């Protein structure tokens, strides 16, 4: 299939080469019938780099110096990734986290009075702050060393996450009481309060990059929701195996509601909690 937007066409063979580059870099896989997405979203890069067509763009990516290549791959990722997220997404799972998983970790104390939770593929940060708010809401961990870490491959998303200021769209599933308790209004937006921000840090980490993944320490719980859906099976297996390596014994893996470990990993137990089914490292 030849995607045709504007005058510069994306021939199928160049689409495949670009698609493979994107896949190698971040695990996101575009099937042939999604060529139009790659075409439409990368077209502005030809203008920006004053390149004649996509073949030249591909040659540029192959031949430029490593620093420019990394920058351009980041540009591509910012354009082709789906960064949709909001506070308190998938409430039944968050109820399980708050009222079942956190109290269990409090009782068992697998790492003393330390609690680490990872939002893997955190987009603009709403998930990481939601986790921190839920930890505060339990009232159990006030004298613990609590760390919530959010990572994403997208620098643009991480800038928003670090700023911690959000518009109305991010609060479509948030109780007003929680907004009043954990946010304050700044310039017409809601700013995450400092006591929540103090628990959360963000880093640019590509889940497919083993070297970068070494920067993440052991965690009690990993949320990796609505990230792996964009990957193919090989990339999913690789990421799940890395997440498994980071979890402590008895630690939990929480995937998105449409995701499961079927055909990906047998290294986790499926645990039926009252509010949700989750994965636990034996």
Ligand X SMILES: C[S@@+](CC[C@H](N)C(=O)[O-])C[C@H]1O[C@@H](n2cnc3c(N)ncnc32)[C@H](O)[C@@H]1O
Decide if residue 152 touches ligand X (CB under 6 A): yes
Q: H or E segment at 202? A: strand 200-204
d(CA 279, CA 281): 7
* Phi and psi torsions of 181, nearest 5°: -75, -35
Tokens coding 37 = 């997405």
Q: 70 vs 109, which CB is nearer to ligand X?
A: 70
- Could you tell me the smallest distance in angstroms from the CB atom of residue 153 to ligand X? 4
Bridge partners of residue 218, in order along the sequence: none
User: Which one of 4-12, 131-139, 201-209, 246-254 is the stretch in contact with ligand X (CB under 6 A)?
Assistant: 201-209
The sign one gets for the Cα dihedral 43, 49, 52, 57 is: negative
Q: Which of residues 91-150 bind ligand X (CB under 6 A)?
A: 121-123, 127
Q: 14 vs 153, which CB is nearer to ligand X?
A: 153
Contacts of 245 (CB under 8 A, 6+ apart): none
Decide if residue 85 touches ligand X (CB under 6 A): yes
Decide if residue 241 touches ligand X (CB under 6 A): no
HSE, side-chain direction, 13 A CA sphere, residue 19: 21
Decide if residue 253 touches ligand X (CB under 6 A): no
Q: What is the phi-psi region of residue 73: left when phi exceeds 0, alpha when psi lies from -120 to 50, beta otherwise?
A: alpha
Decide if residue 89 touches ligand X (CB under 6 A): yes
Decide if residue 84 touches ligand X (CB under 6 A): yes
Tokens coding 55 = 């073949």
Decide if residue 227 touches ligand X (CB under 6 A): yes
Decide if residue 210 touches ligand X (CB under 6 A): no
Torsion angle, alpha carbons of 155, 158, 162, 163, to 10: 80
Which x/- pattern, by CB under 6 A, does the window 30-49 give for ligand X? --------------------
Q: 18 vs 207, which CB is nearer to ligand X?
A: 207
- Could you tell me the smallest distance in angstroms from the CB atom of residue 259 to ligand X? 10
d(CA 180, CA 150): 23
Which listed residue (68, 82, 91, 241) binds ligand X by CB under 6 A?
82
List of residues contacting ligand X (CB under 6 A): 26-28, 81-85, 89, 121-123, 127, 152-154, 157, 206-208, 225-227, 256
């Amino acid at each position: 299939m030849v995607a045709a937007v504007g005058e510069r066409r994306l021939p199928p063979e160049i689409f495949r080469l670009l698609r493979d580059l994107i896949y190698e870099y971040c695990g996101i896989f575009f099937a042939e019938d999604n060529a139009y997405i790659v075409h439409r979203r990368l077209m502005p890069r030809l203008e920006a780099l004053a390149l004649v067509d996509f073949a030249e763009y591909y040659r540029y990516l192959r031949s430029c110096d490593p620093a420019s290549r990394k920058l351009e791959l980041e540009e591509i990722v910012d354009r082709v990734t789906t960064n949709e997220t909001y506070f308190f997404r998938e409430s039944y799972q968050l109820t399980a986290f708050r009222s079942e998983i956190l109290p269990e970790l409090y009782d068992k104390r697998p790492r003393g009075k330390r609690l680490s939770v990872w939002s893997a593929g955190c987009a603009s940060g709403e998930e990481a702050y939601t986790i921190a708010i839920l930890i505060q809401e339990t009232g159990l961990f006030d004298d613990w060393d609590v760390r919530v870490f959010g990572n994403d491959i997208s620098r643009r998303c991480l800038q928003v996450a670090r700023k911690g200021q959000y518009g109305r769209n991010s609060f479509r599933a948030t109780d007003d009481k929680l907004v009043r308790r954990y946010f304050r209004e700044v310039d017409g937006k809601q700013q995450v309060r400092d006591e929540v921000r103090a628990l959360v840090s963000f880093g640019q980490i590509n889940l497919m990059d083993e070297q970068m993944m070494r920067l993440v320490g052991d965690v009690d719980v990993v949320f990796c929701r609505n990230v792996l859906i964009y990957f193919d099976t090989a990339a999913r297996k690789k990421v799940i195996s890395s997440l498994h390596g980071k979890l402590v014994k008895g630690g939990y893996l929480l995937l998105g509601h449409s995701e499961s470990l079927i055909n990906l990993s047998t290294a986790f137990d499926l645990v039926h909690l009252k509010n949700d089914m989750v994965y636990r490292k034996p």
